[in-house]
Amino acid sequence: MSVLAIAWKSIRQRALASSLTSLSIALGVMLMVVVLTISAAIEKAFDQTSVGYDLIVGPQGSDLQLVLSAVYRIQPPIENIPYQYLKTLRDDRRITAAVPLLFGDVTEEGAFPIVGTTPQYFELDYATNRSFRIRGKRINSFFDAIIGSEVARANGWDLGSQFTIRHGGAEGTHVHDEKFTVVAILEQTQTANDRTVFLNVEGFYAIAGHEKPLDEVEDRLRKFYGSEPDVLAELLTELDAHKAHLAEDEASGVSHDHHDHSHETPDCMKELTSVLVRTRSPADAIFLQADINKSFQARAVNPIRPIRKLMDNVLGNIRKALVVLTAMIIIVSGVSIFVSIYNSMSDRRREIGVMRALGASRTAVFSIVLAESTLLCLGGGVFGWLIGHGLTIAAAPAVIARTGLLLDAWAVTPWEFILFPVLLVLAIVVGFLPALTAYRTNVADALQG
């Protein structure tokens, strides 16, 4: 009979104690797998290569909030900037692409974020050497929409599906009367685009309440363009002309009900949440960022730096703490295996003596005890690994729905390949002293006892 077979038979004879000690290892490994899987998903979600733009331009405020809002859509927007500022950016020779983003609404079903943008957003790579793959057609009318793969899956939408949106993210807020039609679906990108609904930027402005109220426009423009009198004068002239047009229509009985959408919102009343910018070179990005931030009108942010700080200073430390905690659980479980095997040595003295009398060498007895420890550690580890991935697979839909984190429960992290060699070393360490005790057992004394 082989060493492993004898060790397995010994474990079965102490089935309850062996199962409990092995289960403790399994629970530790299970927690470790869950922590590693979720950590890998977070790292992938916030990977710097998932940002295909050099700068994000938005209102003054927190750099991190601007990036989390514009790129990851997990924070509300800070404020807005005038639409005219987009034209200023596009006129800058250092900029090759400036794509507007407008936020503020969510789908009535599923509360997925609504983003108003232009067709250029889908023509550019959303990440390094990664372009959009779209099933359907381009947005052609005000009420066409392109949806992400997760939106389609969660809501059961397909080409031709219609939906409504509500203002803001809170439950019970105003639901717009407009109905939008799905004309295209994005293939999975494993970015925030998968859980986003995209509208034509002009269609976004056509929705009631999406333009700046008339009584607030002038103050807003003066605050933003006070240092640029020529631009301010041009916009105020446009605003006065629009007010005069509205007054004439009101006097003649013409209705400006937003539900017919026949009107056009003048540029002076439009605002943007942020602008995604690509520059000609990294040097252009650095100088452009400095120029924008120096003006104190808007804020330009390199999207990589705030996320790197978040990962290093906050999420990285939390992950390390959880990994250390689960490692301590595994070590404590290893100690329990040591205690269980060591305490069983006194009860197994006669068994060891019989084995020695039948011709088993000291080395064989030593190996059997080490094999028991190894089977308990590795067996518990495999069981815990399976349970850990089973839990992440079962929980993945709920995690995605609640957090927007795209969790790939089937993915195996590199750290998991280190886990089992570590368990093997732990098994040898905790089994060595009991094995040494068995090795030193005196045959005559054991048989007399």
Q: For residue 98, what pLDDT band results from cuts at 50, 70 and 90?
A: very high
CA distance 120 to 99: 7
Neighbours of 350 (CB within 10 A): 13
Share above pLDDT 90 across residues of the chain, in percent, rounded to a whole number: 20
Segment 59-63 mean pLDDT: 88
Looking at the predicted structure, is the pLDDT value of residue 152 above 90? yes
* Look-up of token digits 């094995």: 435
Q: Note the pLDDT tens digit of each residue in 204-241.
A: 887 766 666 676 777 878 888 877 877 888 888 877 78
Looking at the predicted structure, is the pLDDT value of residue 256 above 60? no
> CA torsion angle for 143, 146, 148, 151 (degrees, to 10)?
30
Q: Note the pLDDT tens digit of each residue in 348-380.
A: 666 666 666 666 677 777 888 888 888 888 888
> Cα 218 to the chain's mean position, in Å?
40
Segment 231-259 mean pLDDT: 71
Q: Which residue has the higher pLDDT, 10 or 85?
A: 85
Q: Which residue has the higher pLDDT, 281 or 19?
A: 281
Looking at the predicted structure, is the pLDDT value of residue 4 above 60? yes
pTM to 2 decimal places: 0.70
Q: Mean pLDDT score of the chain, rounded to an integer?
A: 81
Segment 73-100 mean pLDDT: 88
Segment 418-428 mean pLDDT: 87
Q: What is the pLDDT of residue 261?
A: 45
Q: What is the pLDDT of residue 64?
A: 87
Looking at the predicted structure, is the pLDDT value of residue 75 above 80? no
Q: Collapsing DSSP states into helix, strand and coil, what is residue 387?
A: helix
- The answer to whether 278 touches 96, Cβ cutoff 8 Å, is yes
Segment 260-285 mean pLDDT: 81
Beta-carbon contacts of 329 under 8 Å, excluding residues fewer than 6 positions away, are: 27, 28, 31
Give me the sign of the Cα torsion angle 88, 89, 94, 98: negative
Q: What is the pLDDT of residue 259?
A: 46
Looking at the predicted structure, is the pLDDT value of residue 83 above 60? yes
Q: What is the pLDDT of residue 173?
A: 67
* Look-up of token digits 């640029």: 228
Looking at the predicted structure, is the pLDDT value of residue 48 above 60? no
Domains in the chain: boundaries: 3-46+308-448, 50-302
